[in-house]
């Protein structure tokens, strides 16, 4: 499922800041590795607790009864939908001879009303125990038979379901969301991913209000309901067995765009439909094109053909995550379907393509092969994120994609790994599964999958994938099953030493590299050491070494060219010849020295090329000259980018304590001794050289990769990334923000003329008609950077008349633009300017133009929330009650609250903390899943200096005392407060 993310705002695991309770316990469930869980009481036989229940991976046990088939009948009404479930069960042979109760999962009585339950037509309602966690059917009420039928009738109120889990209404239409545990808000059932069966679904509803009725699989029957006035029905059968989390239902007044796709492998025709509200029909073409490209790519890349004759997508406005991969009926957050050049940015087009691909790819990696338990979530999500990353890289720029993926991981996932909710990609325990749709499970999980490819090669990885599907199609399996398929198919049955430790250990590994060159012997020695820091329940000394692929090249220090062939050996190991400009070192011990022979001159190492492992790297003795050399000469885009980030960090560190607290952002400019310091001057020299080289290309044309690369190269690390790297208990966000402003301002000032030339190049080469193709997107990305740098340069210069002319030029560009990307770029360039008429004009004009466009208003809210002009007081008095904001809509909260939490200079104030804490309390009573994400912004309080630390902890303690606090929020709050 897409969520968490957060591709930030990728809207897979929303929001972008990765906003990731337990009754108070002395130890967190994520802190203890429960060695005795295999003998703990089974959830299949124990009466559930009324409070939060901790689930453990080692406690897994199959259900005592197997589901043969399910028939669901929905009589749809907003206030009182009646659901009739008829299910055939068989005793599980693994429990033969044992008397077992049936423990069905179900929501609290306020959310799910039990009408009746019958077994083989005998009413046993009075004999069952209806409790807060579901329904217990005593063994004494069950027949001693090889198969029996359970019929359960429930009543739900979709119109009142603000949690947006189970069956609810969005814009008056019925919609379902069942992953992870939403199905239990619809009926009583074994709500777990390993219970797979075939579903038949019948719906009846008011024909005028809900003319479209959709569910999984094939439509087998439809018509008017006999004996009623104005009601109709539809029956769907899904030929593929699936768990209930993949069940979907949509009913509403919707229209569709339709195309057909003919598969390349067998020539099968597939009908593709995207359902939206009628006024959005013109916004679907890009999503449809992305779906077709995804289907073609999956056949060509992995030999995976779609397995039904219809594929439906439905866009809804109210959705907690990004999208959901329900079999043949994908439900999407409307932000990730609807797009036109006038209303959507390049980023929107790019995200739509990636997420449409992600959800389609789940048809095999998630649906056909699914998870044995939710602890194995990364089995499907990490693998599918890897697949959507590869898809995006193939249809766009691979080098830029890797830079973007690494940047997001460092800013969001590394921070999560360093906090109180740090967890492995396969956690050992949880209370609310919704809290573990995280960047760790998704994006770090994808990097773990990518490491298989690095270690086994593309051909070996494909063999492993083929064997995985051959062995496990139609099954619910584990991460170990995936590992074994990879090892057996691609590695000759040999283990990948220590690789499974990636699934068990939390924290971001740190790799230290040191080297020496023996000129007489012509040998170069590279020593790698790895450690993983302590995380909750896993002290550093207990962490085991990991298998880390280190993609490496040795560069000639004179020419910058890679050494084409080297011989390498390790301590006690045989020598191996590494051919080609790049090779992969398999580093799996705590420390290993690699000795390279026949190295003619001292090389410059190019390490972790393409971000070959999700680790933090320190290169002992690496000079700023070497970093500048890598920026100028390396052929690997990520290494060049990473070198620029390392230089930027040194420059920011130099500025951190040198700029007084009372200096305005526009006056944060290194001057005097600071400006001439090696840390600052060498960074500016390296960046300026890189910019000048691109400017020199202009007469003959600049390729799209270079355009995209230079736009990223000049931006220093995010403040959130820098905060993760400072010692625990010392982070001062204001200092970090001032230092980052100083580096940006100095870059803008130093390269003012070059940015103006690049802007002129973009103006001359950007197509007049908007196109979301890679080259056009690269031009507009560079334009945005040039506009921001131009505004910075004018502002720091202090010439009021000159700066006003620059601001007005940006305003006129906004007014002349016909696409949303450039309009947002202009707004962003002016967004932090206080008392600036141009900023005020653009914000007002944008609102007046687009106030009826809900999706566009999310952009406006996010822009306002992220502005340095707007503090918590403005958020509370202006935007909290603004007509553009709706607390019931997740996108609205991700835009306003998420944007403000990412605005570090404004959020990290007493007023900022107070406002977000207040909003969390309100949200928790409406949508606990969304509220818990914003609890996470307080969770890393120990990272900050004492004053902020005390304030953040105080709000966590305040939340913990709310008796009615949801389980979602309470788990996060308790994990944070128990962190030691």
Short-list 584, 602, 441, CA closest to 522:
602
Neighbours of 855 (CB within 10 A): 21
474: left (phi over 0), alpha (psi -120 to 50) or beta: left
Q: Packing angle between helix 637-656 and helix 624-633, nearest 10 degrees?
A: 140
Contact (CB, 8 A) for 256 and 266: no
Write down the H helix ranges in 445-494.
445-472, 479-490
Question: If you search the block for the tokens 């000032």, which residue do you land on?
Answer: 749
Contact (CB, 8 A) for 690 and 631: yes
DSSP string, 509-552: -EEEEEEEEETTTTEEEEEEEEE---BTTB-GGGPPP--EEEEE
Three-state SS at 312: strand
Contacts of 690 (CB under 8 A, 6+ apart): 631, 632, 644, 710, 713
Neighbours of 693 (CB within 10 A): 12
Short-list 968, 962, 876, CA closest to 927:
968
Question: If you search the block for the tokens 């030493």, which residue do you land on?
Answer: 497
621: left (phi over 0), alpha (psi -120 to 50) or beta: left
Short-list 334, 339, 336, CA closest to 352:
336
Give the C-alpha separation, 393 to 398, whole Å.
Answer: 4
Strand duo 616-619 + 510-518: pairing: parallel
Examine the residue annotation and report whether 845 is marked as an active-site residue of this protein: no
Contact (CB, 8 A) for 191 and 184: yes
Neighbours of 416 (CB within 10 A): 26
Instruction: Respond yes or no on whether the N-terminal peptide bond of residue 180 is cis (omega within 30° of 0).
Output: yes
Lookup: tokens for 861: 């809210």
Contact (CB, 8 A) for 362 and 672: no
Contact (CB, 8 A) for 601 and 524: no
Contact (CB, 8 A) for 736 and 722: yes
Neighbours of 674 (CB within 10 A): 18
Contacts of 233 (CB under 8 A, 6+ apart): 202, 203, 204, 205, 213, 221, 222, 223, 224, 225
From the CA atom positions of the chain, what is the Rg in Å? 28
Please identify which of the residues 165, 359, 381, 453 carries the catalytic annotation: 359
Q: How far is CA 822 from the centre of its chain?
A: 26
Q: How far is CA 600 from CA 521, 555, 630, in A?
A: 9, 11, 19
The DSSP element (H or E) to which 242 belongs, if any, is none
Q: Rounded to 5 degrees, what angle do the CA atoms 558, 562, 564 make?
A: 125
- Tell me the helices (H) and strands (E) count for the chain, helix number first: 29, 33
Contact (CB, 8 A) for 221 and 193: no
Three-state SS at 600: coil
DSSP string, 246-279: G--EEEES-EEEEEEEE-TTT--EEEEEEEE-GG
Neighbours of 564 (CB within 10 A): 11
Give the C-alpha separation, 248 to 266, whole Å.
Answer: 28
Give me the phi and psi of 654, to 5 degrees please: -65, -30
The set of catalytic residues is: 359
């Amino acid at each position: 499922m897409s969520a968490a993310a957060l591709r930030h705002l990728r809207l897979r695991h929303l929001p972008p800041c990765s906003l990731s309770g337990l009754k108070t316990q002395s130890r967190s469930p994520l802190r203890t590795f429960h060695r005795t869980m295999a003998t703990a009481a089974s959830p299949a036989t124990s009466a559930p607790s009324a409070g939060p229940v901790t689930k453990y991976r080692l406690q897994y046990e199959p259900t005592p009864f197997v589901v043969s088939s399910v028939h669901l009948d929905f009589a749809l009404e907003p206030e009182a939908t009646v659901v009739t479930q008829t299910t055939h069960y068989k005793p599980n042979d693994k429990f033969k001879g044992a008397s077992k109760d049936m423990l069905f999962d179900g929501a609290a009585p306020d959310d799910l009303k039990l009408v009746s339950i019958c077994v083989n037509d005998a009413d046993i309602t009075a004999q069952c125990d209806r409790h807060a966690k579901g329904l217990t059917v005593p063994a004494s009420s069950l027949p001693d038979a090889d198969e029996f039928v359970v019929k359960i009738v429930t009543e739900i109120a979709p119109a009142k379901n603000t949690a947006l889990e189970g069956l609810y209404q969005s814009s008056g239409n019925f919609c379902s969301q069942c992953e992870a545990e939403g199905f239990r808000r619809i009926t009583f059932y074994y709500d777990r991913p390993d219970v797979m069966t075939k579903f038949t679904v019948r719906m009846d509803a008011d024909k005028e209000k809900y003319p479209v009725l959709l569910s999984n699989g094939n439509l087998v029957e439809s018509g008017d309901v006999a004996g009623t006035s104005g009601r109709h029905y539809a029956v769907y059968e899904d030929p593929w067995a699936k768990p209930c989390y993949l069940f979907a239902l949509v009913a509403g007044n919707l229209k569709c765009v339709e195309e057909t796709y003919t598969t390349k492998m067998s020539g099968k025709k597939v009908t593709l439909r995207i359902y939206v509200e009628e006024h959005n029909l013109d916004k679907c073409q890009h999503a449809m094109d992305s779906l077709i490209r995804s289907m073609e790519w999956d056949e060509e890349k992995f030999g995976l053909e779609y397995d039904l004759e219809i594929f439906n997508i439905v866009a809804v406005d109210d959705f907690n995550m990004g999208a959901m991969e329900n079999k043949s009926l994908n439900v999407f957050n409307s932000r990730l379907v609807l797009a036109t050049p006038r209303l959507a940015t390049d980023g929107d087009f790019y995200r739509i393509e990636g997420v449409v691909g992600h959800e389609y790819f789940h048809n095999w990696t998630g649906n056909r092969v699914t998870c044995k338990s939710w602890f194995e979530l990364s089995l499907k999500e990490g693998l599918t994120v890897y697949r959507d990353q590869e898809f995006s890289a193939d249809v766009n720029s691979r080098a830029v994609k890797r830079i973007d993926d690494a940047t997001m991981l460092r800013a969001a996932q590394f921070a999560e790994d360093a906090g109180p909710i740090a967890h492995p990609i396969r956690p050992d325990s949880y209370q609310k599964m919704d809290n573990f749709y995280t960047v760790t499970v998704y994006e770090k999980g994808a990097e773990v999958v990518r490491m298989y490819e690095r270690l086994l090669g593309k051909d070996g990885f494909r063999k492993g994938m083929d064997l995985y599907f051959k062995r496990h199609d139609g099954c619910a399996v584990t991460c170990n099953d995936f590992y074994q398929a990879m090892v057996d198919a691609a590695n000759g049955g040999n283990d990948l030493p220590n690789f499974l430790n990636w699934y068990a250990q939390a924290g971001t590994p740190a790799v230290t590299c040191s080297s020496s060159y023996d000129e007489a012997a012509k040998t170069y020695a590279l020593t790698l050491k790895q450690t993983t820091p302590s995380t909750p329940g896993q002290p550093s000394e207990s962490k085991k070494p990991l298998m880390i692929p280190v993609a490496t090249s040795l560069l000639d220090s004179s020419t910058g060219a890679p050494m084409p062939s080297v011989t390498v050996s390790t301590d006690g190991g045989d020598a191996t010849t590494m051919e080609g400009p790049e090779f992969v070192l398999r580093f799996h011990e705590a420390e290993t020295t690699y000795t390279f022979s026949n190295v003619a001159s001292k090389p410059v190492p190019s390490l972790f090329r393409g971000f070959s492992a999700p680790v933090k790297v320190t290169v002992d003795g690496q000079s700023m000259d070497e970093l500048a050399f890598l920026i100028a000469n390396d052929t690997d885009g990520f290494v060049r980018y990473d070198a620029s980030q390392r230089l930027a960090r040194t420059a920011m560190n130099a500025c951190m304590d040198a700029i007084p607290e009372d200096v305005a952002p526009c006056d944060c400019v290194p001057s005097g001794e600071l400006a001439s310091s090696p840390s600052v001057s060498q960074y500016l020299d390296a960046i300026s050289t890189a910019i000048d080289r691109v400017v020199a290309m202009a007469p003959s044309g600049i390729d799209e990769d270079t355009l995209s690369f230079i736009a990223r190269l000049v931006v220093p690390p995010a403040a959130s990334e820098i905060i993760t790297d400072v010692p625990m208990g010392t982070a001062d966000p204001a200092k970090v923000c001032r230092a980052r402003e100083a580096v940006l301002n100095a870059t803008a000032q130093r390269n003012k003329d070059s940015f103006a030339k690049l802007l002129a190049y973009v103006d001359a080469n950007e197509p007049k008609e908007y196109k979301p193709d890679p080259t056009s997107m690269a031009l507009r990305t560079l334009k945005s950077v040039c506009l921001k740098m131009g505004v910075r340069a004018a502002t720091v210069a202090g010439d009021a008349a000159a700066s006003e002319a620059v601001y007005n030029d940006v305003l006129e560009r906004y007014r002349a633009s016909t696409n949303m990307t450039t309009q947002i770029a202009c707004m962003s360039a002016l967004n932090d300017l206080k008392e600036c008429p141009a900023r005020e004009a653009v914000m007002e004009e944008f609102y007046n133009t687009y106030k009826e466009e809900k999706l566009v208003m999310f952009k406006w809210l996010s822009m306002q929330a992220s502005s340095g002009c707007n503090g918590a007081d403005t958020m509370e008095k202006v935007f909290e009650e603004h007509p553009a904001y709706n607390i019931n809509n997740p996108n609205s909260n991700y835009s306003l609250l998420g944007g403000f939490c990412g605005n570090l200079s404004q959020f990290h104030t007493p007023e900022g903390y107070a406002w977000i804490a207040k909003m969390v309390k309100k949200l928790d009573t409406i949508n606990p899943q969304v509220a818990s994400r914003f609890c996470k912004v307080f969770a890393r309080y120990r990272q900050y200096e004492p004053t902020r630390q005390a304030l953040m902890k105080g709000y966590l303690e305040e939340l913990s005392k709310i008796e009615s606090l949801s389980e979602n929020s309470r788990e996060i709050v308790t994990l944070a407060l128990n962190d030691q």
